[in-house]
Amino acid sequence: MRVDPDLWPLTTRVDVEGRLCVGGVALNEIADQYGTPAYILDEADFRYRIRRYRAALPGVRITYAGKALLTKRVARWVADEGLGLDVCSPGELATGLAAGVDPRSIVVHGNAKTTGELRAAADAGVGRIVIDCGTEIALLASQLRSPQEVLIRVAPGIDIHGHAAVTTGIVDQKFGFAVAEGQAALAVRRVLDQPLLRLAGLHCHLGSQVTDPAPYGEAIRRMVSLMADVRNHYGVVLTELNIGGGHGVPYVTGDAELDLEKLARVIDDALDQACATERFPRPKVAVEPGRAIAARAGVTCYRVVSVKHRPGGRTFVAVDGGMGDNPRVALYGARYTVTVANRHPLGPTQTVTVVGRNCEAGDVVANDVQLPADLHPGDLLAVACTGAYHHSMASTFNMVGRPPVVAVHDGRVRELVRRETTADLLLRDLG
Ligand code: LLP
């Protein structure tokens, strides 16, 4: 199958010339106009994913995690579709505000927020600030001129058994307060002692690429039990429980994804059970998906620059981008799906390693993919599932400017972020 619908954007088609089209536009035409590499974004897919969430989880508050992919227009799509926005830096907050997102729908995260950041967030009127450490409690309180709603981030001690870099629910990692030794309870006490801090509830985030909904049920049970402890000790009934994001998506054919209908059932059952056991009123649940909304909307286009057959038998296809626009292979050993996008892939195929243009041997775009045996310089390659954590994690390694983000919708093309030029990079170099 050339374009597995589980991996490619909703509107992906192949035209009579064999060219891959997204949003009614041939990727080759976008590549000719905007150059390569380029991130292409299918607005219809992005909005479709949000609507799927809203339909599957009607009683749950959904906040989009902007760290996955954020531009002003993306923030507007998110707001248009009725979602909140989760930010974790002044830059992400500024992007949301510049897009006109209602600050009350913004949730501010971060394990090392500075005084200035806390003040800026409070002054902007954000809906929630998620408190991650003890220092932050007094620091935030000292910056406030009016009441601020906050959540307390808890590490519930749940292991998703994923990549260590994205395992955040266990106790032995940097985020949040542990339940053990009364750390989370003490944080609650200290927040309650601050007259301008309004404690709305608790937050946890288990990690990334979670495809089994069961850990979210376990998180709810543990968090509701903590909420009941808070009520029993301090007489305060917390009403909000944010269970974070981390919903897994497929990158190659056959990969699992988190089933939203199953997630909805797990959330409901866990709430029923935990609230009955603790005799606790059902809190309002919130989730924060990033990848599951953005990933499949994105495709990255590269031009083939060279094809090298090694005496040992491996074939390296070098393209004009690489770990600068996609560090995920080097960081997490991520796997990707690649196809030729400018023509029919006729004839036999070969197994190749697609590599980038950056100066290190670990600069791989995709390992062991099947591409036409006659692939040659000038061919256009498209890599699926690159909407999340690509644009947002790109670097300028080797003084290579970052690619543009180009949105497509109903045959229209709109450049959301322009390519970073060498002149842009030199502007910061003060000589
Ligand atoms: N909420 C919190 C508090 C988070 O820390 C994250 C992600 C999310 C929500 C959204 O998670 P998602 O649904 O997108 O998985 N750079 C890594 C991913 C790091 C995610 C960090 N936090 C990657 O490229 O796979």
Distance 290 CA to ligand 1 centre (A): 7
Taking CA atoms only, the protein residue closest to ligand 1 atom 12 is 246
pLDDT at residue 180 in the model = 86
Show the DSSP H helices in 169-281 as ranges.
183-192, 214-234, 260-278
Q: List, chain by chain if needed, residues with CB within 6 Å of any ligand 1 atom.
A: 65, 67-68, 86, 109, 166, 205, 208, 244-247, 288-292, 328, 332, 388-389, 393
pLDDT of amino acid 410: 98
With the most atoms of ligand 1 within 8 angstroms of its CB, the residue from 85, 166, 202, 242 to mutate is 166
Q: Where in the chain is the domain with CATH 3.20.20.10?
A: 43-291
Range(s) within the chain of domains with CATH label 2.40.37.10: 13-41+295-427
pLDDT at 41: 98
Q: What is the pLDDT of residue 329?
A: 97
Q: How many Cα atoms occupy the beta-carbon half-sphere of 178 within 13 Å?
A: 9
- CATH 3.30.70.20 for domain 43-291: no
Q: Which of 107, 154, 160, 205 for a ligand 1 pocket mutation test, highest count of atoms within 8 Å of Cβ?
A: 205
Mean pLDDT for each consecutive 10-residue tract of the chain (431 residues)?
A: 93 97 98 98 98 97 98 98 98 98 98 96 98 96 96 92 79 88 93 97 96 97 97 96 98 97 98 98 98 98 97 94 98 97 95 97 96 97 98 98 98 98 98 95
The one-letter amino acid at 48 = Y
Annotated catalytic residues are: 359
Do the Cβ atoms of 3 and 12 come closer than 8 Å? Answer: yes
**Which residues contact residue 29 at a Cβ distance below 8 angstroms, ignoring those fewer than 6 apart?**
none
Domain 13-41+295-427 falls under CATH 2.40.37.10: yes
Q: How far apart are CA 313 and CA 332, in angstroms?
A: 26
DSSP codes, 335-402 = ---EEE-SS---S-EEEEEEE-SSSSTT-EEEEEEEEETT--TT-EEEEES-SSSSGGG---GGGPPP
pTM of the shown model: 0.97
Phi and psi dihedrals of 26, rounded to 5? -70, 130
The Cβ-side half-sphere exposure at 145, using a 13 Å CA radius, reads 7
pLDDT score at 200: 97
Query: What integer pLDDT is reported at residue 346 of this predicted model?
Result: 87
Residues in contact with 400: Cβ distance below 8 Å, sequence separation at least 6, in sequence order: 324, 357, 358
C-alpha 292 to ligand 1 mean position (Å): 10
DSSP per-residue string spanning 19-84: -EEETTEEHHHHHHHH-SSEEEEEHHHHHHHHHHHHHH-TTSEEEEETTS---HHHHHHHHHTT-E
Task: Specify the length of the chain in residues.
Answer: 431
Whether the CB-CB separation of 354 and 365 falls below 8 Å is answered with yes
CA of 167 to the centre of ligand 1 (A): 10
**Both structure tokens of 176:** 């949040």
The ligand 1 atom nearest the CA atom of 248: 15
State whether residue 333 is helix, strand or coil: coil
Euclidean distance between CA atoms 130 and 209, whole angstroms: 22
pLDDT digits (tens, 9 = 90+) for 220-245: 999 999 999 999 999 999 999 999 99
CA-to-CA distance for 250 and 254, rounded, in angstroms?
7
Indicate which atom in ligand 1 lies nearest the CA of residue 168: 5
